Amino acid sequence: MLSILRKARLKDKEMRVLMLGLDNAGKTTIVKQIMHEDVNTVSPTLGFIIKTIDYQGYKLNIWDVGGQKTLRSYWRNYFEKTDALIWVVDATDRFRLGDCKEELHGLLLEERLMGASLLVFANKSDVKGCMSTDDIKDGLKLDEIVTHKWTILQCSAMTGENLTEGLDWVVTDAKERLFLY
């Protein structure tokens, strides 16, 4: 039923992308890099920022929501009509990987996020000594996720590495699930 309702939106070719993750993971820097904005002046997001980009004939509305612990209880206010969830992980932050897993798995239980694609960006992969995608996949227990189609990609918000590939995956998955053409 949910997929039928989502396909009813086929005319607008618009997608809602929710970008979440713990604070300091690099969510806002990723959005700025995608928008070709200066990535050298980024401050913590208190609340949310919405950016819209035309990408492969689709309009992506990217909701970048702050990840500080005090803001996480408000995340549920942004779940409505989400087509894709981009979960950003700081690949250098081994200490909080357990917290990251708990937050992610809690999100995936939310009914309003059912059916959304899940892209995990392992950000800061350009930093020496960072965790590999296998380390993060194991730490987040991604193989246990059967409720959402997911993938994981290393990326760098500073250099732009793999950001386009991530958006490509989101759009391709959404085309298969959401649109009739």
Cβ-contact 15, 115 below 8 angstroms: no
Q: Say if residue 17's pLDDT is above 60.
A: yes
Any idea which residues carry the catalytic annotation?
A: 68
Q: Does position 126 have pLDDT exceeding 90, yes or no?
A: yes
Residues 59, 52: Cα–Cα separation, whole Å: 7
pLDDT in tens, 142-162: 999 999 999 999 999 999 999
Q: What is the mean pLDDT of residues 126-133?
A: 97
- pTM > 0.85: yes
At 98 the pLDDT is 97
Q: What is the pLDDT of residue 44?
A: 85
Q: What is the pLDDT of residue 178?
A: 72
**Position of tokens 């928008």?**
35
Q: Which residue numbers belong to the known binding site?
A: 21-28, 45, 67, 123-126
pLDDT score of 124: 98
* Residue 122 to residues 59, 77, 93, 146, Cα–Cα distance (Å): 24, 25, 11, 20
Q: Which residue has the tokens 């070719």?
A: 13
What single string gives the DSSP state of each residue in 155-180?
--TTT-TTHHHHHHHHHHHHHHHH--
Feature table: binding site for Mg(2+) = 28, 45
C-alpha 45/C-alpha 165 separation (Å) is: 25
Q: Is the pLDDT of residue 9 over 80?
A: no
- 12-28: average pLDDT: 94
Per-residue model confidence as pLDDT tens digits over 34-67: 999 999 988 889 889 999 999 999 999 999 999 9
